[in-house]
Structure 1
Amino acid sequence: MAFADNLKQLPSITHLAGLQLFDAQGQLVATLENKPGQAGSVAVYHALVQRFGTIHAEAAREGLALYAEHTEDARAHPGKHPNIDRLIAIKQHGGQFGVAFLSN
């Protein structure tokens, strides 16, 4: 299924302004805003946290499947899709991200 189709299956994020990702030491790694260009990633990460409670290797595998065709593009062009690159790194090397949701 294509990424756009996968997004339609995910829980709504209209109540979110965005989210923040934290590494294992509690350091802020990234802030994703619920705006064009990042909203899809907010939806994916939100759905993963809803299902798994955190972003770890199993969640990363599911997230990469949700990103569909963009995952292959990210693998072919490292750095082009940083939100996917993070999931690839977790899947390959382990670790996890904590997530804090930012409400509207």
Structure 2
Amino acid sequence: MKFADTLKTLPEFVGDKLVLTDAAGAELATIVNARGTAGSFRVYAYLAQRYGVIGAEAAAEGLAIFAEHTEDASRNPGKHPNIDRLIAILTTGVPLGARIV
């Protein structure tokens, strides 16, 4: 299934941004709920709600949701930073916390 189709099946979340944190709660990055990143916001919010933290299992599901964009991110590191983060979680095993603001 394509990303756009899968995205429609995810719940919607209200908030301006999603803050990604390390284990100590320090802010590492944000994903704004705006045009161009709203899909990533929704995927990450869903993963955080479902798993609590975004660890390996959540990252694998996120990569499956991003579908064709995951393949493009693998071929072009840096082009899709929100997907790159999920790939890094699988590689390093280091999870991310996430909260909607």
TM-score range, shorter chain: over 0.9
Q: After the TM superposition, which residues 12-91 of structure 1 pair with which residues of structure 2 at under 5 Å, given as runs? A: 12-13=12-13, 15-91=14-90
Deviation track 1:71-99 (CA, whole Å, cap 9, x = no partner) reads: 00000000000000000000111011111
Partners of 1:25 and 1:47 lie apart in 2 by 22
Using the size of structure 2 for normalisation, the TM-score is 0.96
TM-score (normalised: structure 1): 0.93
Gaps of 5+ in 2: none
* Residue 95 of structure 2 is aligned to residue 96 of structure 1: yes
Deviations 1:3-39 (A, max 9, x none): 00011000012x2111100012322111111101110
Segments of 4+ in structure 1 off by > 4 A? none
Aligned length: 101
State the percentage of identical aligned residues.
56
Distance 2:46 2:35 in 1: 18
